[in-house]
Structure 1
Amino acid sequence: MAPLLEVEGLSKSFFGVTVLHGVEFAVDRGAALGLVGENGSGKSTSMNILGGVYQADSGTMRLEGLSYQPANPKAATAAGIAFIHQELNLFPNLTIEENLFIDAFPRRAGLPLIDRSRIRRSTAELLLQVDLDHSPSTPVSKLSQGERQLVEIAKALSRSAKLIIFDEPTTSLTRPEVERLFAIIGRLKNRGIGIIYISHALEDVMSVCESIIVLRDGRVAGGGARPTLEMQQIISMMVGRSIDAIYPERKARPAAETVLSVRGLSQPGVCEAISFDIHAGEIVGLAGLMGSGRSELARMLFGLDRFSSGTIHLDGQKLHDPSPAKAMTAGMAFLTEDRRGEGLIMDFSIAENIVLASLDSVSGMLGLLSGSRISAAASEMGTAMHLSTTRVDDTLVKHLSGGNQQKVVIGKWLRRKPRLFVLDEPTRGIDVGAKQEVYRIINRLVEDGSAVLLISSEIEELLGLSDRVLTISRGELTGSFERQNFDREAIMTAATGLAGKILAGKIPAAKIEAVQ
């Protein structure tokens, strides 16, 4: 049987620069193709051609054996191609049913009126197919991120999609939502629908896809059937070199000096009696499920959120009535998990963003900002961070890849030479090469004597970087693991709050210590 989709010799140039060089791949009916590669590898351009946003300079595409050349996104949708974007295209102020039929409202026979009853019946049937137990009249604003994604899938089904493209679908999902998504993708494949699955989470790609293709610098670097590929092979294809150790070797150990001391931090409904220390040169990982209180704790430390009782000391000095300004003055930096919404001003240049947290250092007489100082400071940091461009003054951060955007956010804080760096999901949504760069930066920080609190949903990242891992569940610390006692199962058990399993002997008690 011929593939559902065949792409051969796809090439594309912008302003004389070739970004795709003869890309070829195929998607079978009822199967998933994993499309992986670093940012800038050509994934988005390939998918935009497939979706009718761009037209290829050369090459052919066939859908169900017939020539496929969509002139625009509407033509691609009509042909049966659907996108589930990382940034979901829904209107939060509208209901589920209104979002599903926003561009195709059925009309009452012979009348210019919307057939509301038909919309409601159709929506109810579609929601059953994606296991979404909500009324069609529910506003999208009341849905979780995972539930909103299911609405997007239902919308694709309403258009009789033959091929669905998932772009970084698990970035903002809890693990139960990820498992539900994978189950639905399995059902889609059973119906004969083809899937293109784009993700930096290689473990998910290996789990979902029957075959994988790797792009690098606009070319196919390799790929094949999933059983024939090892994770290390895929990473090597992506970056063009072997990465024997993704996590850098630490040359220094934590010191006895305490940088951060937290005692009895509490806020009703958020956290209860949180106490821990972080030492100079130490990376402390914080593991917990979505909603466990991880990010809320980080925001309290930095003074963004209030707490009702407890104390925070930084380098022995108590932070009275903490605020971001006081935390920064004391030597704390905070990398938010939402880099686009809170970490950057997207319509500002790289240079303007890099100096945001250190404006006093680029001010001249009378406190006026100096353009030359801003440019010099940003150029120096851009070089140190290995940004993809040297044009820091006129390149807007919204035009950078996710990995380079994250480097700008980190660089912004590094200019302050922080004593404590609180990192909330520092590698979310960036490729493996950019991740390795971030890991090296973290490593240099602690080798210079700073302390790091690392919050991550990736257990491998916590195990690979941390000297110690704390677990948090429902706002309470449930475990503390020293590096020599790292055990994935024990950490995950403690992070879910299932301490009873440990006490019952299902996991050796020696692998978890009570938090003092």
Structure 2
Amino acid sequence: MTALLRFEGLGKDWFGVPAVRDLSLDIPEGRVLGLIGENGAGKSTLMNMIGGITAPTHGRMLWRGQPYAPASAADARAAGIAFIHQELNLFTNLTVAENLFIDGFPRRPGLLRPFIDRRAMRDRAAEVLARLALDLPPERTLDSLSPGERQLVEIARALHHDAALIIFDEPTTSLTPRETDRLFQAIEGLRAAGKTVIYISHILADVQRLSDGIAVLRDGRLVGEGPVADFDIPRMIRTMIGRDLAAVYPSRTAPPRGRPVLEVQGLSAPGVIEDVSLTVREGEILGLFGLMGSGRSELARILMGLDPAMRGDARLLGHPLRGGPRDRIRQGLAFVTENRREEGLMMDASIRDNLTLPAIERLRGPLGLDADRIADTAQALRETVRLKAQDLARQPVRSLSGGNQQKVVIGKWLPTEPRLFILDEPTRGVDVGARSEIYGLMDRLAAEGAGLLVISSELDELMGLCDRISVMSRGEVVATFDRARFDERRIIASAFRQAEGDAA
């Protein structure tokens, strides 16, 4: 099979430290390659070399059999390489058509100078969108589109530029399940059109579904490569992290016997949740599973005081939960939001400031904020959550990997000494190795007596981590399963309201 792109002994060193080491790999034309590895495995460095952002220290790349050494991103685009990143490179104030043609608008003669030919632009944009089976009006502005629709516009732009290789980097992070399905259809359409795709994701089931072949990086080296049929998910994980899937989750055997931390009775918000009752005990990890729109995230926001409830009762250690988020933090509640970039972190602020913000009132001295106490607290949290960072005071949290950002989101609550942690999608966009560390941290919090309410759309995560799993559907808790009775089929059936009588 012809290689569109070939790496021969490719390597990149940063200040003498290898980020990619002696990598040799063929990327066949017209196929989808799933590229996987933990954060820090070398994926980003490899993509930056392909994209002309950085040059290899040694080795070489071949594009269609010819030496390929892009000096800039423009060189990579000119060669026929396009990137679809998590943060899209689009102009939200412009139309779909204008975004497709931003590098060169069609023109028509004018009296003094050429004008943009908007009719031709709309017609040609419609042709490109039709090739992807996208029902998007070319004249719509991007700020009126959903994240998934914007991503499809980015793909359409790559198709308009006749890119031969399209690289997707964690493309589903902000998408709904329906938008994800549309994205996958678009990728399958690209493959059918003879395009080559590199698909990078921490969601291994997606990689397995889409890919023809798999390549695995660990510590900058290619440690596994072959057809997708040779890689089930346990093998992917084992190759990525060097140990089996069972080692990812902490061992939880004896059910917790502590007193109730959270007691919810008949909690309702019309159109959102209805008559929800559940209990979380000291030392317990209770999972909350459900489909998109089942009410699980809405319940978390109501418990945190972000959204109102109309009826019912929620108590923390026997005391009614009242007031807004600040009041509930003081009562002993911590909330890890599902959207860490927009709601959980100040992305441009330092790691230190993010780690210490919730406890800032506790870090005051007689004359105001105590800089030494702030620094000491941040350093202690760094060690507790095993945060990989260089300079807490100067390094922006934006610069951290997804896994380390999530450790900050969780760790920042520890100085407030919460009795209950509500964690909504705590490992979204996090690689397997960092997930294992986050699971270990959650297990330690439970061992110290905190209660944890964990919301996740990944059932295997809840089954590996939790003592019990409650299932929500259409705003109601329809079933609860003890660990000894975990059954994937029955839990999923409950989420679809097909097995409502399985309460344990």
Give how far 1:46 is off. Answer: 0.7
Distance of 2:471 and 2:131 partners within structure 1: 36
Which stretch of structure 1 is more off in the superposition, 10-19 or 419-428?
10-19
Match of 1:255 in 2: 257
Give unpaired runs (5+ residues) of structure 2. Answer: none
Aligned to 2:355: 354
User: How far apart in 1 are the matches of 2:477 and 2:90?
Assistant: 36
Tell me the equivalent position of 1:59: 59
Match of 2:190 in 1: 188
CA distance in 2, matches of 1:378, 1:12: 32
Q: 2:289 aligns with which of 275, 287, 290?
A: 287
* Residue aligned with 2:248, SS: coil
**Alignment partner, residue 365 of structure 1:** 366
Q: Secondary structure at the match of 1:306?
A: coil
Amino acid at match of 1:120: R
Secondary structure of residue in 2 paired with 1:92: coil
Q: Deviations over 1:296-327 (max 9, x none)?
A: 2211111122233332211110123x311111
1:191-206 correspondence runs (5 A): 191-206=193-208
Residue identity opposite 2:281 in structure 1: H
- RMSD, aligned CA: 2.0
Q: Which moved more, 1:37-46 or 1:235-244?
A: 235-244
> In the superposition, relative to structure 1, how do residues 207 and 381 fare at CA in structure 2: closer, same or farther (>3 Å)?
same
Match of 2:465 in 1: 465
Aligned counterparts of 1:479 and 1:92: Cα–Cα separation in 2: 43
Contact 1:385 1:407 in 2 (8 A): yes
Aligned to 1:436: 436
Task: Find the residue that maps to 2:23 and give its secondary structure.
Answer: strand
- Corresponding residue number in structure 2 for 1:141: 143
Q: State the 1:88 CA deviation.
A: 1.9
Quick check: 1:174–1:289 contact (8 Å CA) kept in 2? no
Contact 2:472 2:495 in 1 (8 A): yes
Distance 2:451 2:332 in 1: 11
In the superposition, relative to structure 1, how do residues 134 and 475 fare at CA in structure 2: closer, same or farther (>3 Å)? farther
Tell me the residue number matched to 2:18.
18
Q: Distance in 2 between matches of 1:413 and 1:382?
A: 13
Tell me, yes or no, if the aligned pair for 2:252 and 2:467 is still in contact at 8 Å.
no
Task: Find 2:153's aligned residue among 146, 151, 154.
Answer: 151
Distance 1:253 1:448, change over 3 A: farther
* DSSP-derived class of the 2:334 partner: strand
What does the per-residue CA deviation read over 1:26-73, in whole Å, with 9 as the maximum and x for residues that have no partner? 211221111111111110111111111122222222222222222211
Aligned to 2:474: 474
Residues 359/324 of structure 1: CA separation in 2 closer, same or farther (3 Å cut): same
> Which range moves more in the overlay, 43-52 or 259-268?
259-268
Question: What is the match of residue 169 of structure 2?
Answer: 167
Whole-Å separation in 2 of the counterparts to 1:242 and 1:468: 24
Distance 1:475 1:101, change over 3 A: farther
- Structure 2 residue 381 is the aligned partner of structure 1 residue 381: yes
Residue matched to 2:219: 217
Within 2, Cα distance between the matches of 1:469 and 1:415? 28
Aligned to 1:310: 312
Cα distance, 1:440 vs structure 2: 0.7
Where do 5+ consecutive residues of structure 1 fail to align? 504-508
Shift of 1:349: 2.2
Please give the alpha-carbon distance, in whole angstroms, between the structure 2 residues aligned to 1:141 and 1:5: 36
Q: Which amino acid aligns with 1:206?
A: Q
Asked whether the equivalents of residues 379 and 390 of structure 1 are also in contact (C-alpha less than 8 Å), the reply is no
For 1:63 and 1:286, how far apart are their aligned partners in 2? 48
* Distance across 1 between alignment mates of 2:104 and 2:472: 46
Deviations 1:159-196 (A, max 9, x none): 10111101112222233333332232222112111110
Q: Is the 8 A contact 1:251 1:447 kept in 2?
A: no
Could you report, residue by residue, the CA deviation over 1:375-414 in whole angstroms, capped at 9, with x for unpaired residues?
A: 1111111112111236323332222111111111111112
* Aligned pairs (5 A) from 1:382-461: 382-389=382-389, 391-461=391-461
Number of matched pairs: 502
1:513 aligned partner: 503
- The amino acid across from 2:282 in the alignment is A
CA contact (8 A) 1:2 1:65 kept: no
Q: Deviation of residue 260 (structure 1)?
A: 1.0
**Aligned residue in 1 for 2:88:** 88
Which moved further from structure 2: 174-183 or 279-288? 174-183
Instruction: Quote the Cα distance in structure 1 between the aligned partners of 2:337 and 2:499.
Output: 33
Q: In structure 1, give the amino acid aligned to 2:442.
A: I
> In structure 2, what residue type is equivalent to 1:60?
R
Q: Which residue of 1 aligns with 2:247?
A: 245
Conserved? CA contact 2:258–2:283, under 8 Å = no
**TM-score normalised over the length of structure 1:** 0.92
**Per-residue deviation, 1:136:** 1.6
Change (3 A) 1:328 1:180: same
Q: What letter corresponds to residue 327 of structure 1 in structure 2?
A: R
Q: Distance in 2 between matches of 1:481 and 1:279?
A: 15
Partner of 2:499: 502
- 2:280 pairs with one of 274, 278, 281: 278
Task: Indicate whether 1:119 and 2:121 are aligned.
Answer: yes
SS of the equivalent of 1:274 reads strand
Quick one: percent identity of the two aligned structures?
A: 50
**For the structure 1 residues 116 and 466, does the alpha-carbon distance in structure 2 shift closer, same or farther, using more than 3 Å as the test?**
same
| C-alpha distance 308-375 of structure 1, shift in aligned 2 (>3 A) | same
What secondary structure, in the 3-state scheme, does the structure 2 residue paired with 1:232 have? helix
Q: Is the 8 A contact 1:27 1:195 kept in 2?
A: no
Q: Cα deviation per residue 1:227-274 (whole Å; 9 max; x = unaligned)?
A: 223433332332234454321102542225221122332333322232
